[in-house]
Amino acid sequence: MLWLTWRQHRAQVLITFSMLLALGVFLLIHGLGTVSAGTGVPADRLEEAFSHRFRSVYFFLSWVPIVPLLIGVFWGAPVLARELEKGTHKLAWTQSVTRRQWLVAKLGLLGLAAALAGLGLGLMISAWLSTFDGTKYTDKFGDSAMFGATGVVAGAWWLFAFMLGTAAGGVLRRMLPAFAVTIAVFVLLMIALFSAREDYAEPLRKVVDHQTLAVGSYITGSASLSPAGVEVPGDAPVPECASEGRDTYLTCVSEAGYESVFYYQPADRYWRFQWTETGILLLATVALAGPVVYRVARRPI
């Protein structure tokens, strides 16, 4: 089975791992460049010095959370849909290897490879981000793209996408519809989790006079606190200053005695949030494995 799995899926596996390798080498070189560019720069100037270096690469890396979709389409969907579409499942499932063994080997090996690839990519991006230590650019918690691209969540997204593609292929039995459903479900779930993320835990509240919070915390909301203790939501104008122009609004707010309130998730909750999202994704993966097992091992061929 190891040989069969490798033989049938080596193109996808080789392309994926060589792309990861290329990205890893690029990030390594870029990261080493960042470290040497940062030596000798005073700490308060680091952010300025790194601004361009960071932005030019971040522009591309901010798309990494969508990459698992390609795993769903190119790794997951063909596992069952290609066999069912070409009728080769009749050959594959009537050999001395039982259907159950066939399925366990395929899902186990490919799922493991997908999860490891995702974790590896997450580690590479975390390492690259850590070269910007001491600036706001290291943030991988408040930045939703970097949260999904680092830590254990990266591996969980890759594994989930793989299982989603496999299940879609098993249920729909044809490649094109399986692709379409995989893309649609993945995008919807991604949007849902991106907007649900801030509610994984009750946010903390902090009143500040200047708009500063520790780097790495995830700001989920803001408000203005009047001297009487009334909170005005951050997106609504303060009543005393509603008629002020854009230039004078902020001075008016501070003259009226308002303070800023932030709702935020502190930076040390990063791993808690990572495991929460990983748990959600693994549950979804297990739920999707149900129809796959039924399709392969239970139904008559």
Partner 1 sequence: MLWLTWRQHRTQALATAVLIAGVWVLLLLDSVPMDLIKMLPFAPVLIGLFWGVPLVVKEFERGTSQLVWTQSVRRSRWIVGKLAGLGVAVALAGLALGAIVTGWIGTSDTPMGRFSGELFGSTGVAPSAWFLAVFALGAAAGAVLRRMLPAMAVTVVVFVALVFGVSFSREYYVAPVVALETSAGIDVPADALVGDTGVVNAAGERLTWHDAFSLCADANPVDCMADRGYGQEFVAYHPADRYWRFQWTEAALLLVFAAACAAVTAHRVVRRPI
CB of 52 to partner 1, least distance (A): 4
Q: How far is the CB of 217 from partner 1 (least distance, A)?
A: 20
Query: Each residue of 202-231: b (16+ CB within 10 Å) or e?
Result: ebeeeeeeeeebeebbbbbeebbbbeeeee
Nearer to partner 1, 250 or 286 (CB): 250
Nearer Cβ to partner 1, position 191 or 283? 191
Minimum CB separation of residue 195 from partner 1 in Å reads 6
CB of 50 to partner 1, least distance (A): 9
Tell me how far, at minimum, the Cβ of 159 lies from partner 1, in Å: 20
**Contact residues: partner 1, CB under 8 A:** 11-12, 15, 37, 40-41, 45, 48-49, 51-53, 60, 66, 70, 73-74, 78, 144, 175-176, 179-180, 183, 187, 190-191, 194-195
The nearer residue to partner 1, 31 or 261, going by C-beta atoms, is: 31
Please, what is the minimum distance in Å from the beta carbon of residue 263 to partner 1?
A: 19
Nearer Cβ to partner 1, position 230 or 242? 242
CB-wise, 52 or 299, nearer to partner 1? 52
Toward partner 1, which CB reaches closer, 179 or 258?
179
Residue closer to partner 1 by CB (options 194, 263) is 194
Cβ 144 to partner 1, closest distance in Å?
7
